[in-house]
Structure formats: C-alpha cells, structure tokens
Amino acid sequence: MADRGTRGSGIAGQEEASYCVLPGRTDRGLLLLCDHAGNALPPGYGTLGLLPEQLKRHIAYDIGAAAITRALAAALEVPALLTRYSRLLIDPNRGRDDPTLIMRLSDGAVIPGNRKIDAAERDKRLGLYYEPYHRAVDAAIDCFLALGIPPILLSIHSFTESWKESARPWHVGVLWGGDGRVAKPLLEALYAEGDLIVGENEPYAGQLEGDCLWRHGAQRGLASAIVEIRQDLIRDAAGQEAWTGRMRRIVERVERALAATAPPLERIERCQAGEVAPALPDGCNHGVGEMTKLDKTLTMELEAAAFRRLVEHLRQHTDVQNIDLMNLAGFCRNCLSNWYQEAAAERGLRLSKDAAREIIYGMPYKEWQAKYQKEASAEAVAAFEKAKH
C-alpha cells in the first residue's frame, strides 16, 4: 500500500468525462471493471428524450454495481475502471458492430434520442464515449503487463430481479466463455457460500464476441469473468455493504484456489523427475491426486460438483424421459427440482416450484416439455400407475 503509485507498482487514479480509474495495487493481479456503472448523459443529450425517472431504471445502468465495484476495489486495494455515461448513450459492453450498441428500444421503452441516429452520430459516440474507456482499460492492463503481472479481469454487473414478469431465482451469476480459469474457482467460491442460488452463464449467455471481456480478456489471453448480482440485493447501502463483504471473501477464496492450482516451481521439478504426478488444469487430476484433508466445506463442494454434473447430464440427455426415470429409478427431474426447492425452504429461501424447475431443466419446464417430452408408451404409463400404488 505504502508504495502505491510511487515505485511504479500501482495504478494511479484518473477522472475523465466518460470514465474514471480508481487507484490500486498491481501486485494483487486483479483489475475490476464496471461497464454499466453510471447513468449520466453528456451535455447536449438531455435525457435522450426519456422521462428523468427512466434514467434511474435498470435500462440506463446496472443498479448497485458501481457502489460494489468502488467498495470492493477499496477493500482489496486493487484498481478499477468505471464508466460514467448511461449504456443508453452507447453500450461499452458491446462490440462496435453489435446491433445493440446503441439501443433504440430497451425493456419496452423507446429511446427517442436514439431513434434516428446516423453514421456520423454513431461515430461521434464511439469516439467520445466508448473508445476512451476501452483505451483506458488497455492502458491499465499494459501497466500490469509491464510489471510482468497478467491481471485477472473481473467485471461487476447487476441484473433485474424479474424479466417479462417471471422472477429470476439466482442471487448471482457468473458469465464466461471458453476460458474457465477464473470463472470455475469463482463459481466454486460462490457455491461455498452455502446460501446462494448461483447461475452459471445465467441470467445471460456467457462471453459474446466483441463485448468488453472478449476484447480485453480473451483477445489478450487474460483470465476474466463477469459477476452479475441481482439488483434487489444491492439496491440499498446495507445490501451493498453485505455484498462487498461477500465479494471480498469470494475474491480471496478464488485467489487461494488459483495459488493452490498454479504448480510451484518445486512441484514442477519433482514432477519432471517423475516423483509426483502433474497437476492438470481445471482440477481434473484423473485420480492421481490423493485426498488428504476432507473438511466440511470441501465435502460440500464435491457434493455440489457431483450434483451439477448430474444436472448437466440430464440437460444433455433430453431423450431420457421423466416417466422412464420414474419407472426405473423412482425419481425424475421434477423430484430433483422439489428437493432443490425443499433445501432452499429449509434455509429460509423462498423459491417457487417453477423457479426450482428452471434451475434443473435450464429453461422453463413448459418449454422443456414442448421441446423434449414425448408421448409416453402405454407400457410406461401402466408401469408408472402400478408403481404409484
């Protein structure tokens, strides 16, 4: 801390019109990003023709995300970059060619100020309100790399608690693409909290080409992930404080997990000498690692991993019908959903039947039925009826 910015080992703070940089240490190897931090608009844009209250809604920015990013950066003493202008002006988490770069319609609201923009206006917004932030992200990354530290990029976002009138069950989601270096330990750390419904690439699909982490993470070979926190949990100061504490604990857990999996030099040397088996990436040791300490959390993590695999397996094998599962094994996907719902209820979490089913099926139950449920054979129905009695 003491030498922050004085011996080139830190990133200095910076205040610009369209973004700001919060200062922090580089030796932690972590850079926080908040692409949807602000809901301001530059002079001359008014409210983009919207009622002022529309700019306080989620369509304009990620409610609570900036507060979490700022407090987390301070707690961890790491640098962070935050945008100031609303994503309705131009969305920094979209590729330059993405059709949703400048939204004409957002969650039912027409954006009058975006309705008729021409190429010149689009280029102006790209030049003044989009690229400066991305250049600053690049510059911050360059600072890390100059010190020989490839930073982890962690992007903080928030999502609405419901969408198109259906409640979103997850408290938090991790979004990622093909690189699970951070996303996987991050998911594990979130699962280990024990009281969270965690979405993997929920409520949105993972990394998309052209988005912020694709550009600065994937394209530069840096490990990255998005954390999406449900907005009702971080709307007020108490929630923000609680989630900052939680995120700090989670980041520290991820750091420990990454430190444990990075093979130290000594292990590499012993491995080369044939004394120990190599630690394979993504924790997949194929039986070569001995389990010496099996504490309570680890047991829970392993059980959770097995559960996730079961769910994933069932999601992939859509040809396996629930009625056949019931006839053969006495349980089906709906039982699993009920067990999930009951476990949540035991912990005081309200989770609807539909929401629990969506967690298991990976889509609304009705949608799954329409897509994959087949007409049951007479024998299957008879066996099912018989078993019921």
Which residues bind to Zn ion, rule: CB under 5 A? Answer: 36, 62, 157
Smallest distance, Å, CB 211 to Zn ion? Answer: 10
Smallest distance, Å, CB 35 to Zn ion? Answer: 6
- Residue closer to Zn ion, measured from CB, 62 or 179: 62
Strand pairing category for 166-167 and 109-110: unpaired
* Residue 196: C-alpha distances to residues 169, 203, 205, 207, 229 (Å): 10, 14, 20, 22, 11
Smallest distance, Å, CB 92 to Zn ion? Answer: 9
> Which pair of structure tokens corresponds to residue 10?
């830190």
Q: What letter does residue 48 receive in the DSSP assignment?
A: T
CA distance 288 to 334: 36
CB 11 within 8 A of CB 26: yes
Q: What letter does residue 30 receive in the DSSP assignment?
A: E
State the DSSP string of 132-179: HHHHHHHHHHHHHHHTT--PEEEEEEEE-SEETTEE---SEEEE--S-
Smallest distance, Å, CB 62 to Zn ion? Answer: 4
CB 125 within 8 A of CB 206: no
256-268 residues labelled b (16+ CB within 10 A) or e (exposed): ebbeeeebeeeee
* Residue 234: C-alpha distances to residues 59, 72, 213, 238, 248 (Å): 16, 13, 23, 8, 15
- Residue closer to Zn ion, measured from CB, 62 or 188: 62
7: helix, coil or strand?
A: coil
- Residue closer to Zn ion, measured from CB, 159 or 368: 159
Strand pairing category for 152-159 and 162-163: unpaired
In the complex, which residue's CB is closest to Zn ion?
Answer: 157
- Residue closer to Zn ion, measured from CB, 240 or 321: 240
Smallest distance, Å, CB 158 to Zn ion? Answer: 7
- Residue closer to Zn ion, measured from CB, 65 or 356: 65
Nearest in space to 76 (alpha carbons), one of 120, 127, 32: 32
Q: What letter does residue 40 receive in the DSSP assignment?
A: B
Smallest distance, Å, CB 159 to Zn ion? Answer: 7
Smallest distance, Å, CB 286 to Zn ion? Answer: 38
Smallest distance, Å, CB 231 to Zn ion? Answer: 10
- Residue closer to Zn ion, measured from CB, 57 or 124: 57
- Residue closer to Zn ion, measured from CB, 183 or 360: 183
Smallest distance, Å, CB 157 to Zn ion? Answer: 3
Q: How far is CA 40 from the centre of its chain?
A: 24
> Which pair of structure tokens corresponds to residue 100?
């949703």
- Residue closer to Zn ion, measured from CB, 37 or 257: 37
- Residue closer to Zn ion, measured from CB, 62 or 211: 62
